[in-house]
Structure formats: C-alpha cells, structure tokens
Amino acid sequence: MRGRRMLTLGVSALAVASLAGCYGLPVGPRISLRGPATVSGQVTDAETGAAVAGAAVIVEGAGALQVARTDGHGRYRLQVVWTREDEAGAAGARLEARVVAEGYRMREVPLRIAPGTLARDLTIERDERPGR
C-alpha cells in the first residue's frame, strides 16, 4: 500500500507541474528560443579546392551548439537555434563556426545569422607540422 501511495503522489505532482506549465505558472527557468537558421555550404581544401569529406563543422555561441559532418562531397547542413538574446541583436546572432578535419588546421570563422538560411562555404589549410 505504501508503494502505491508514493506512486500516486509522484504522478499527482507531475500532473500539477504539467498543468501549471499549461496555464502560464512558472515551473522552471524561462528559455526563449530564437531561429531557427539553416547554415549550409561546402568545406574545401584551401590549396587544391578539393572537397573535404568527414570534416566536423561546429557552430557555437548565443546558447547554440550544433555539429555536422561533411558528406563525400564536402557538403554540410545544420539547423541552429540560439537562446541568449543578449548575444543576438536585430541583425541576428553572433556565432562562431569551427571546422576540424584530420590532416588540416582547425579554422574559426565568425558568423552572423538570422532566422532563415545562410550559405557559407569554408576552406581549410593542410597541417604540414610533423605528426599531424
């Protein structure tokens, strides 16, 4: 009987919290999502222009953190939603894209994105250092 009562209390508390959220009562931190924006493009070798397959494209900032891998043609596409309005103005959010691929130097590129789409091709340079 005691276990059943605990289960009922747990479910009742969940129901109250759920209803409170439905009727606008505060139940946790307020998160305001912005976006979404679609960022897409191609990652290529800066010297040869060849597509870089398997590169990681990381978009971060304003509460956003999204990662995509390039396909066999070096193309990537990701959806970005950001949460911190203080880092996003009327012109959009200030984010940073990092491109990482084996045998290449990491590259960081500033981005300003707004809801909608942004096409951004990225180039990366080979890492000529020994052991890299």
Residue 88 pLDDT exceeds 90: no
Q: State residue 114's pLDDT score.
A: 81
- Whether the Cβ atoms of residue 52 and residue 70 lie closer than 8 Å to each other: yes
Tell me the H-state helices in 1-132.
2-22
% of residues, the chain, pLDDT over 90? 42
Q: Which amino acid is at 30?
A: R
% of residues, the chain, pLDDT over 70? 65
Q: Which CATH class is domain 34-124?
A: mainly beta
The pairing of beta strand 34-45 with beta strand 75-82: antiparallel
